[in-house]
Structure formats: C-alpha cells, structure tokens
Structure 1
Amino acid sequence: MMKKILAADHPGADLVFSKEFAFCLPESMWEGMISGKFADFYHTFLIREPERVLYSNYKAPKSQPGVEPPGGGLYELYEFYQFVKERKGVTPIVVDAADLQAHPDETMKSYCEAIGITFDPNMTSWEKDFTSPFTYPSKWGERWFADLKQSTGFIKIKPDERKPVPLHELPNDLVQCIKECRVQYSEMQKDCIKPSPLSKTA
C-alpha cells in the first residue's frame, strides 16, 4: 500500500514526502525501495542521540507494549542506512535532531538544498491549532497531538541548554543498548549535513 501511494502520480504536487520508522520497513522491501520507480527517490535519515531516544521511550506511557523493538528502532535505522549507502553508492542525507533543534531554519535550509527544493520559513513555523485528519487513540499519541496543536514552530534548544539524561534511572540492558547504538549513531553523524547560513531575505 505504501509503495503504491508513493509511486502514484500526484497531480499538482511538486514533491512527495513520506516519513517512516526504519523498523516498520521489512528487510524484504529494502531492495524495492531503491530500485524501479524508487531509483530516483532520496532516502534521508533523521538521527538523535541514543540515550535521549531510549530514555524517552522508557518513560513514555506503555499503552501499546511491544510496538517498538528493544532498541527503539535504532539498530534497524543504522542497518537500512548502511544498505542504502552501499547499494546506491552514495552518501545518504543525514540530519541530526540536535542541529534541527539548535538551528531549525539553517538546518532545514541545508536539507532543502541537499534534496533540490527551495527553503521556506513556513517549514519551521506555523499557525497554532491546525487541523489534521488523523486521530491518535493511544495515551502517548493524545498527549503528543495536544502539544502539537498548541505549537507554533520548532522550539530552539541549544546544546548547552539540554539536560543530561539520567542513565541511572534505566535498567542495565537499556544502558548497554545505548552504548552499542552510540557507536552506530557516531558513524551516521559523520555524514550529517551542516546548518546553512540564512540570507537576509530568508
């Protein structure tokens, strides 16, 4: 279904964008996602420090236990990133969430330049109380969507303003997972795009 929607003609649309968790993309689909109608698609990756991903997941309401894999999808993200990099022979576009938070406009501008579209400041700011056709039945989803409806854009958070993750609150197996994923995160971070300076008219 997803492949049909992405590969279909979309009259009036200049761009088709889809976001998905890597662990939701079975390995059996990987080859098909980079060949045929998808050969010219860009596969871009959003990464975040493993300790923040897994701590957030650990503290989130467990209304749907077992939905996410033990590593929060970080292993799968790295594996698909490596697959795309090796099979397509190009370095995938990688964005670090820390850069997006610290420099939202500049990072989004770099992202747009990397995929060949024009940056628009409305990509990082919007009107409050927007509507959406989607509903989120889980407690986590309800809270997330309520916060999103009240937002007006990216909240800037500088690196030195972020609180350290209290790893002592996590079970040992999760701490070990963070250490393993940290190596993969560092590898992907080497390919991160850097924030671009904004022009005076941007």
Structure 2
Amino acid sequence: MHPSFTHLLIYKCKRDWVKEQLEKPIQEDKQFMFIKDTAMGVDGYYDKLPNIEAKHTFIIRNPHRVVFSARRLLMHLYEHKGDPDDFNLSGDHPFMAWEKLSPDPLFKLWNYVRENIDPNPIVIDADDLQNYPEETLRKYCEAVGIPFKKKYTTWPKSDESLKYFHGALEQMVWGKNEGVYDAAFLSSCILPLTKPLPDKVPEKCEGYAAEFREGYKIMYETRLKPTE
C-alpha cells in the first residue's frame, strides 16, 4: 500500500473516531460541552461534523490583525531574521499547505452551517471579545442558554488547564514548545486591545489579507453586539 494512501486512510479513521466520540451522550454530571475546532481542520470533511444538537459559534478577526499574527508565527517557524516586511506571507509555505484548503475556509464553513444546520449561527468578533469581555460573554451565554458566571472571565495564570484538554496532544505540546500559547498561559483574563487596527497591511501580506476581507465583512454584519 502506498504510504500516502495509508496516511489518508489513518486520517479518515481518526475523523470517524472523533465523530463517534462527539456523538456520545455527555457525562451525567455535566450540563453542556464545548467542542472547538478550526475551519481549516474540517475543510472538506463536513460529513464528519457530529450529528448532535448544538449551537455553532464562529469567532472572527479582522484580516488586518490576522496577517501580523500569522506573519509572526511563520517567521518564527522558518527562523526568518530579516526585515518582517521582506517576508512573503502570501507565498508558498509548506507548513500552511494553502493548496489543500478552500479559499477562506471559515466563511465557507459558516455558509455551510447556515444552509444545512442552523440559519442563525452565532458570530463573535475578536475585537469585541477583547474590549468587552464580560458584556460579550453575558450575551453569548444568554444566546446559548447557559447561566453566566463571573468566573468565566478569569482563570489561573498557568498551563495547568492543559491537563483537562481533550484534543490532539501533539498539537498542544508543539504549540507550547514553540511559544504559540504563551500569551494565553501567562494571562489571567481576557486582555483589552492595545494596538489600533492597521489601515493597511504590508505589500507582501496583501494577498493573504485580501482572501479573507469579503467573508469577514459579511460575517461581521451578523455578529453578536455586546454593547447594544
């Protein structure tokens, strides 16, 4: 059997197993369960979404903020030491495997959910969540029928929470070792934004940002509004 076919077969089996686990009843002492994934992670595998009663929630972020985070991560992974503006975020990056993904996977998944599962999924803008954490979480809890608790806005400043995560251990270990989660582990609450929204992005990031602008704009109009 060809190695690549073996890899795809194992990958499919893992997705089947995950779907099966998520469709099991939650523990009797639990009232609800959060399931988190990335749109890129399920792109092309919508048939593997769990068939359960759930409220889909999408967190969006302005592409002009995303490009700087993505560039910083990729520069770190590729050990780019030069001028950040010389780094081509829109170029060929094996780590990201752009060619295997749909254009704007998040917007595509949002449309799929609206057309096939729930016509009114919840959309939360990351800027709103950072600037109005309690207001946003209160409205979110109300929307999904969960009693809001003040403790949802704070947590211990440590990585102890990793012990309670159910997910890809390799991904979590990799992220921790690479410092991807440092800001989260070193925080104890949702921190407000400190940098203004950039009006434009560097030339070599423009292609990346352009791919997500239209989808972001459309989803933003449907977002949960914390101050209204």
Structure 2 counterpart of 1:47, from 60, 71, 90? 60
Paired residue for 1:105?
134
Residue 147, structure 1, aligned to residue 183, structure 2: yes
Structure 2 spans left out of the alignment, 5+ residues: 1-16, 80-92, 164-168
Structure 2 counterpart of 1:30, from 36, 46, 51? 46
Paired with 2:117 and 2:175, the residues of 1 have a C-alpha distance of 39
Q: CA RMSD in A?
A: 2.9
Residue 120, structure 1, aligned to residue 149, structure 2: yes
Residues 47-196 of structure 1 correspond to what in structure 2 (within 5 A)? 47-60=60-73, 61-62=76-77, 66-70=94-98, 75-88=104-117, 90-131=119-160, 132-133=162-163, 136-138=172-174, 142-157=178-193, 161-162=195-196, 164=198, 167-168=201-202, 170-171=203-204, 174-195=205-226
Aligned-pair CA distance for 1:50: 1.0
Paired with 1:152 and 1:21, the residues of 2 have a C-alpha distance of 24
Aligned residues: 188
Go from structure 1 to structure 2 and tell me whether the alpha carbon gap of 1:32 and 1:175 turns closer, same or farther (over 3 Å shift): same
* Amino acid corresponding to residue 56 of structure 1 in structure 2: S
Aligned-pair CA distance for 1:140: 6.8
Using structure 2 for the length normalisation, give the TM-score. Answer: 0.71
Secondary structure of 2:104's partner?
A: helix
Identity of aligned residues (%): 25
* Amino acid corresponding to residue 167 of structure 1 in structure 2: V
Paired with 2:156 and 2:192, the residues of 1 have a C-alpha distance of 17
Aligned-pair CA distance for 1:123: 1.4
Go from structure 1 to structure 2 and tell me whether the alpha carbon gap of 1:89 and 1:104 turns closer, same or farther (over 3 Å shift): closer
Q: Deviations over 1:85-138 (max 9, x none)?
A: 112351211000010011001001111111111111211211222512357444
Paired with 2:177 and 2:103, the residues of 1 have a C-alpha distance of 20
Asked which structure has the greater CA Rg, the reply is 2
Using structure 1 for the length normalisation, give the TM-score. Answer: 0.79
Paired with 1:74 and 1:44, the residues of 2 have a C-alpha distance of 20
Aligned-pair CA distance for 1:24: 0.6
Paired with 1:141 and 1:98, the residues of 2 have a C-alpha distance of 27
Residue 10, structure 1, aligned to residue 10, structure 2: no
Residue 21, structure 1, aligned to residue 49, structure 2: no
* Amino acid corresponding to residue 75 of structure 1 in structure 2: D
Secondary structure of 1:94's partner?
A: strand
* Amino acid corresponding to residue 36 of structure 2 in structure 1: K
Secondary structure of 2:193's partner?
A: coil
Paired with 1:177 and 1:22, the residues of 2 have a C-alpha distance of 16
